[in-house]
Amino acid sequence: MTFRLRSSSKTLKAVFKALEEVDSEPLFVFRKDKVLAWGMDPSHVIFVSLEINPNFFSSYTFDGKKPLKLCISASEVAAWFLGKTYEAEIGYEDGSLELVIYTASSKIKKSVAILEEKTPPPPVDLNFFASVTIPSADLHEGFNLISKDSVDTVIDLSDNKFRMISKEKRAMYEPYLDEGAVKVTDDGVLRRMYKTEFLKMAINSAKTLAENVTFELSKEGVLRIVFEVENLKVTYYIAPILEEEG
């Protein structure tokens, strides 16, 4: 079983960076029709999932009849996308994984370790009932202003509004939305609190990759953050923390 994919180093770096921030050893699943990747932080609070269409890459080949699962060190691979590299290639053959970096004047090869699989698949059976879509650049700017030095951030979708609130700084970000922008399909808690550091991972990644980002609240309290570009879908799941009164 073999596969080989090639793309710009900038594109691959963005993919591995999104995974590395959450899990330094994410799991990749290579198939003929798509590449899946996911990772979960050690505290099991944030989970990131990527679904990549082969057209996202410059080239992609896979000759396996069954999916190939590989746990790869994202930090090891991302560290090689430094300087003025132009394209990169990742290939697997005979049980070995290889990274090839192409510059204007040279080709650099590196063997990549295959690690023991440890990350479970994305969560299922969550009941999402409220959602809103925000421009990622505006979200990034507003969130950074209110969340600096803040440990926890409240997400509030009540009253057909989207608010991010930092209790510690007594600050709030509330973008202007069209009527009906917040979609609520069932009863549920519309205000939850999450760790700022995990929200920042998703929002920074969205700012790098996509124009818009969607927030979805589940009845279980899990926040799903989704954004898409052509041939790539990125999804974050973040578990809530209890909000103290006062």
Tens of pLDDT, residues 87-117: 999 999 989 999 999 888 889 999 999 999 8
Phi and psi for 160 in degrees, rounded to 5?
A: 55, 35
The answer as to whether 121 is a domain residue is no
Q: Do 47 and 88 sit in the same domain of this protein?
A: yes
Residues 36-65, mean pLDDT to the nearest whole number: 94
Distance between first and last Cα of the chain? 58
Domain that holds residue 208: 128-238
Domain end position, chosen among 115, 138, 167? 115
The answer as to whether 123 is a domain residue is no
Q: Do 88 and 137 sit in the same domain of this protein?
A: no
Residues 203-227, mean pLDDT to the nearest whole number: 95
- Residue 65: CB partners within 8 Å, gap ≥ 6? none
d(Cα 155, Cα 195) in Å, to the nearest integer? Answer: 11
- Choose between 201 and 244: higher pLDDT: 201
Q: Is the pLDDT of residue 81 over 90?
A: no
Q: Do 198 and 171 sit in the same domain of this protein?
A: yes
**Distances in whole angstroms, Cα of residue 87 to Cα of each of 9, 70, 99:** 5, 22, 11
The answer as to whether 72 is a domain residue is yes
What is the pTM for the complete model shown? 0.92
Q: What's the pLDDT at 39?
A: 94
Q: Do 152 and 212 sit in the same domain of this protein?
A: yes
The distance of Cα 14 from the centroid of its chain, to the nearest Å, equals 10
Q: What's the pLDDT at 246?
A: 44
Domain end position, chosen among 115, 148, 180? 115
The answer as to whether 14 is a domain residue is yes
Residue 163 in tokens? 């608010």
d(Cα 163, Cα 165) in Å, to the nearest integer? Answer: 6
The answer as to whether 32 is a domain residue is yes
Q: Do 87 and 159 sit in the same domain of this protein?
A: no
d(Cα 224, Cα 206) in Å, to the nearest integer? Answer: 13
Q: How confident is the model at residue 82 (pLDDT cuts 50, 70, 90)?
A: low
Helix (H, G, I), strand (E, B) or coil at 193: strand
In this predicted model, what pLDDT tens digit does every residue of 190-204 receive, in sequence order?
A: 999 999 999 999 999
Domain end position, chosen among 53, 83, 115? 115
Phi and psi for 82 in degrees, rounded to 5?
A: -120, 160
Q: Do 104 and 138 sit in the same domain of this protein?
A: no
Residue 190's nearest CA partner among 241, 155, 237 is: 155
In this predicted model, what pLDDT tens digit does every residue of 123-176 receive, in sequence order?
A: 888 999 999 999 999 999 999 999 888 899 999 999 999 999 997 778 999 999
Residue 180 in tokens? 């009906």
Residues 35-55, mean pLDDT to the nearest whole number: 95
DSSP state of 148: T
Helix (H, G, I), strand (E, B) or coil at 22: helix
Number of H helices, E strands in the chain: 4, 19
The answer as to whether 243 is a domain residue is no
Q: Do 134 and 108 sit in the same domain of this protein?
A: no
Q: What's the pLDDT at 9?
A: 84
Residue 225's nearest CA partner among 118, 131, 153, 135 is: 131
Tell me the CATH number at 66: 3.10.150.10
**In the chain, how many domains are there?**
2
d(Cα 70, Cα 136) in Å, to the nearest integer? Answer: 31
